[in-house]
Every structure is written in C-alpha cells, then in structure tokens.
Chains A and B, each alone.
Chain A
Amino acid sequence: MKRSPGRAGAAGGAGSPGGLYAAPSLFWLTVFFLAPLAIIVAYSFLTPGPRGGVEWKPTLDAYRAIANPSFARVTLNTIVVAIGATAVTMLIAVPCGYYMARSSRQTLLLMLVMIPFWTNFLIRIYAWIAILGNEGFLNDLLIATGLARQSVRFLYNRGAVMLVLVYTYLPYAILPLYSTIDKFDFSLLEAARDLGASKLGAINKVLLPNIKGGILTAFLFTFIPIFGAYAVPLLVGGTDSYMLGNLIADELTKSRDWPLASAISLVITLVTTMGVLLLLRANGTSVLGGSGDGEKPVPEASSAAAYGAQAIGGSR
C-alpha cells in the first residue's frame, strides 16, 4: 500500500504512533491500579483466612457484615467530617484563589501555597501534634500568658481532625481555583455592571459560572481524599472521629478480615465514583482538562486498599 509522504507525519493520522506513546502509562495503570482493584473485588467475595489472607471459598459474608449498624455509624461520621472539612476548605480557598489571581505578587503567593509540599505529609501531621498537644506550643503559650491554668485538650477529637484535614487539602483546592480565576477576564465583571448588574449580581451571574470548572475540581480534589482519610484521624482523632479509612485499616491489620476490608474499600470507591460522575453530568462540562474522566483523583481510601492488596503479595 502506498502512503503519501505528506500524510505520514500528520499528528493523529492513521500512521500516528500515539498508541505506542501511551503504552507505558497503560502498563502502569494496569499493573498498579486495575490489577489491585481486581484483587480487591475478588477478595471481597471470599472467606477470611485464620490469620489474615483469604481462603478460596466464595461467600457474601463481607457484604452481610457491612449491613451492621456500627458500619453505618462510621459511614455517617465520615460523611459529616468530609462535608464539614470540604466546606471549610472551599470557604477559605475561593477568596484565597481570587486574591492570588488578582495580586501583583502571584509568584510569591504561589510559592507560599506550595512550600508545605516540600515536607512529608506525616511529618506535617506530627508538627500539628507538636503545636496542639498537651505540652505543645499552643498550650505552653496559653499557660505562659495566663490564659489557661492547665493545658487544654485540643487533640484527639473531631475538631482536630477537621483542622488538620483542612490544612492538608487547602493547597489542592487553592491551586485549581487560582488557575481558573487567573484565566478569568475581569472586564466581564465591568461589562455585567455596565449592563445593570449589582456587584453581587455580577459575581453570581458572570464570575461563578465562568469559574465553576475550577470550583468543581477543587471540590473533588478535597472531598474525595478527605472521604477516604486514614492517617489524619488515626494520628489526631479520637473515638468520635473514627473514619472509614481507619475501619478498613483495622479490619485488615487487627481483625484480619481481609474480605471485609476489601468490601468496605469497594463501597467507598463506588460511592465516590458515582458521586463524581453525577457531579460531572450535572455540571455538563468536562472538568479535568476535557477528559471527563472521573477516576483521576485517586481517593486515599482506595489507594490504602490498593496498598493492602499489594501487602498481600509481600512478606507480611
């Protein structure tokens, strides 16, 4: 077959090697995302082994266990924390992103938002413990200034979990908001005012519709990982802030009921994925660079579950 030389180099043409370029990431996704997911799905339908692991006897016991009211309580708690922390994060992130986009010192502000990423996530949680702990900086300060006679218990409650979650995921919300607001043409607000809109009306009718993609991305980037939070409630939370992520970890490591852990992971993955798809459909726009792929933001819970699945093949 003859090929015209002019067409051979055309991007996306019949002879485009695009598929070849995608091969490494396809391999990566298959091995590190799809395969663990398949293992989780499979394990959730099996019988728990005596010391962890599974026995190859199919059963629906794991899904029956989910019907347990204690599971519902943890789920409810997780929803409350996730909605609360996401709401607070968004309330801080929207004005922050707006201010950054309008500021003349964008680079500096952008640096300030990104600096926390230079320190390990766990170390930053321990830093909060050092600040909020019974003998932490804040209590030292309160006692030294006479504002408190004995140390106040800031840690190990839902408030501490929310605070640290907001702190952790704030940059993930600020960055997409900043980048959309930065692209927004502010003369549109003047046009709206000119056409008779009040200040608030201009923001509602022109600014918000034009940055809704950024708002949605920010929401997904915070809500999904917070919904699957594990380390934060483990380290700064108490009995009132036990979340689904902790439940999975405990089922996996303490109760050694791997099928149940797998089933809970799947429920989280299913619920968040469906939520994302519904949001995307309601929004009518593709959020993540036009791909419309709702699976991109990897929830911490499913990655924790994937971690668990990987551990199966390991020495533990």
Chain B
Amino acid sequence: MEYGGAKQKTVKGSDVVIEHVRKSFGDFKALDDVSIGIKKGEFFSLLGPSGCGKTTLLRILAGFESPESGAVLLDGRDVLSLPPDGRHVNTVFQNYALFPHLSVFENVAFSMRLKKAPESEIRAKVADYLQLVELQAHAKKKPSQLSGGQKQRVAIARALINEPSVLLLDEPLSALDAKLRQHMLIELDSIHDKIGITFIYVTHDQQEALSVSDRIAVMNAGEVLQIGTPQEIYEAPATDFVAKFIGETNLYEADVVSVSGETVELSVEGFGIIKVTATEPPPVGSRVSWTIRPEKIRIGLEEPRSSRNGINAVSGVVDEPIYSGFQSKFYVRTPSGQVLKVIKQHADWSDEGPEIAWKDSVWLSFSAEDAYLVEVKR
C-alpha cells in the first residue's frame, strides 16, 4: 500500500489499555478505579474539570507517577515497571518544557543525540520534523525568542521525532489565546492524520475535545463518567455532570408518568407533561433527570400549530435576549418560574420571522426525539 511519505510507514501507533487504576495523594483520591481502552491510532481525549485526575492519568502513562493498583498495557505489555525513558511514549507538556539553553534545532535533536545517532541522520530528521511543524526558519533561535504557538510546535516536533507509538498531550493549547488555539487545534489534527499514531489528549476545554477527538473519556473526581464519540457524549450524556459539562444545556428533574415504547411522559415542575425519549425506559413513578439542548428548541411568537405526536410545547416570557451575531440566546421563563435556555441560529433572512424582544410572550417547542432522559435517580 502506498501512503505517500516514508514517515507513515515507519511510525506505528499502539493500543493502550488502562485497567482499574487507582491513585491517591494523601486523602485525595486522584483516580478511583479508572479503566479505559484506547485503540491504535486513535485521537483520544481525557476531558474533565481541573482536579478530575486526567493529568495524573497522563503522568502515569508517561511514567512520572505510579498508581497504587491497576495496570497500564501498551500493545498488551504492562509498562508500569518501566521508567519514563524506557517507554515508547512521548509527552507534549503543558508549559512546553523546552530546554532554554538549547536552540530549537537542539531541542528537537535532544532525543536523537541521547541515542548517539550519526550527525547526518540527526540533521536530516530534525529538518523533516521542523518542516512538519513549519519551523524550518527558526531552527537557530532559542526558545525565549519564540511566540507561544511556535514554542508549542517545537514541543510537538521534539516529542514526535522519537517516533513514539503514543503521543501524550497535556493541555497543550491552554497557554495560547483563543484564535491561535483554534489554529493549533486544526494543525494538531492534521499532524495526527499524517503521523497516524495514538494521541492521548488531556483538556478541560470541551470545545477542543469535541472538535478533534475520535473518542472522549469524560472524567470527574477521579472517575470516568462516560466514554464515547463526541456525538455520543453530546447527544446522549450518561450523567447529569456530563450533560452540564459538555456544551450548554437545560437539565431538569421529573417524575415518570407513563411509558409507551421508547417514549416516556414526564411530569416536570413548572412545565406540565413533557415527552422524552429513553432507550431503556424506567418504570412509572421513577424520579429522573432529563435534558434538552438549547439549539434544539424552536422559539416563536405563536403557539406551534403542529400537534404531531412527540412535539412538546411550552409557553413563557423572554427574560433576557442575548444577541451574538450568528445566533441569539434567549432565557425564557415559564409562568411557574422555570428558566429555559434557547439558541436561535440566524441562518438567512427568509428564515428569520418576526424579531423576538425582551418581555415578549413566546412559545417554545421541541421534539421528544431531542429530549433525552439522562439519569434515573430512584
């Protein structure tokens, strides 16, 4: 098979299996029985708020921490007994950790010099990797002369030149400004496509994780709450925390009134009866939480005519309209005081309808297909 460049053939990813890993610092449980399976060549994200254990897990994979129990397998081989320099894994550090006394070239060449590779090979390969991250022109500079994005790219080239089977990225974009972050994210994704090895990406930014990952593990308080594709995580959150942490959402508690097939009727305080979809419907009388994403709610001045089965309609008053160009966000208060977030995209003029303003009485409608039952409380 022809892949184009020579690099793709020589570099192979590993699959990574994390089994029942536990780690505490004093009384603080950083990781509580974490098990994750990561496939060869996958762009896998560990996503969670700070202190959720994602960085600790990454440091265990790199070899800087050892867990109290559990196993970490690279291609089926337990690597926990190996020191950091004995693992075929490299890390892109959060603060870049570039060697300030060495030039860009020497930073990238560092691991090859340790291996005592011949000078000609070092030159050729460093040039290759500097080209990959588009830094050929800066080879002679010291890290202190580079911008944040350039430093980031040196860190990536330095980690990749070793041809690791797994690349660990610890919040690599957190020090960059928003615009550059977007740009580097796309670059990272294209580097992943070119190199084809396993990327494990730690971030607290759900947008970053959603946009580049093949799969995501959402973590909180040392536990993995859900593992899935970005779509699964967003559309079918496993817990209230995942629903709230990923994107914006409306999350409410309710009682199950009736069940017919996958459609469940809920009695929601302040809304009346709402129909939602559940793949495994709970018994009547259960207390549950359910969610509807703001962009999946239609907002209008008139009561929706469609009385199609499975359409929920709720009336309310606009509490706060927030215009942001491509979209508007409305906080709508129902007569009994519940607040719903609604996002309306400004697609084109023909689609706009009458303008909705502060204190307008509005109707909200959403499909039972889009409303999702998250957790069964009891």
Contact = CB atoms under 8 A, between A and B. Distances in A.
Given A187-B93, A201-B114, A194 B99 contact: no
Contacts of A209: 101
Interface stretch (B84-92, B194-202, B343-351): B84-92
A195 B93 contact: no
A194 B91 contact: yes
B91 A210 contact: no
Given A190-B84, A190-B93, A201-B114, A196 B99 contact: no
A190 B115 contact: no
B101 A194 contact: no
Nearest to A191: B97
A149 B262 CA distance: 98
A205 B95 CA distance: 19
Q: What class of interface size applies to chain A in its complex with B?
A: 10 to 19
A206 interface: yes
A192 B110 CA distance: 8
Given A185-B95, A196-B115, A210 B158 contact: no
A198 B98 CA distance: 18
Contacts of A206: 99
Given A185-B97, A210-B100, A190 B64 contact: yes
B110 A195 contact: yes
Interface of A: 185, 187-188, 190-198, 201, 205-206, 209-210
A206 B85 CA distance: 15
A38 B115 CA distance: 56
15 contacts: A185-B97, A187-B95, A187-B97, A188-B99, A188-B100, A190-B64, A190-B91, A191-B99, A192-B99, A193-B63, A193-B64, A194-B85, A194-B91, A195-B85, A196-B162
B103 interface: no
Interface residues of B, number: 23
Contacts of A197: 85, 110, 114
B83 interface: yes
Given A190-B84, A190-B93, A195 B100 contact: no
Contacts of A188: 97, 99-100
Nearest to B164: A194
Contact of B62 (A192, A194, A201, A205): A194
Interface in B140-178: 158-159, 162
A195 B64 contact: no
B226 interface: no
B111 interface: yes
A185 B95 CA distance: 10
Of A188, A190, A191, most buried by chain B (CB within 10 Å of CB) is A191
Q: Lowest 9 CB-CB distances: which A-B pairs, in order? A: A191-B97, A195-B111, A193-B84, A209-B101, A187-B97, A194-B91, A196-B85, A196-B111, A196-B114
Nearest to A211: B101
A198 B89 CA distance: 15
Given A196-B85, A196-B162, A210-B100, A191 B91 contact: yes
Contacts of B158: 195
Of B63, B90, B99, most buried by chain A (CB within 10 Å of CB) is B99
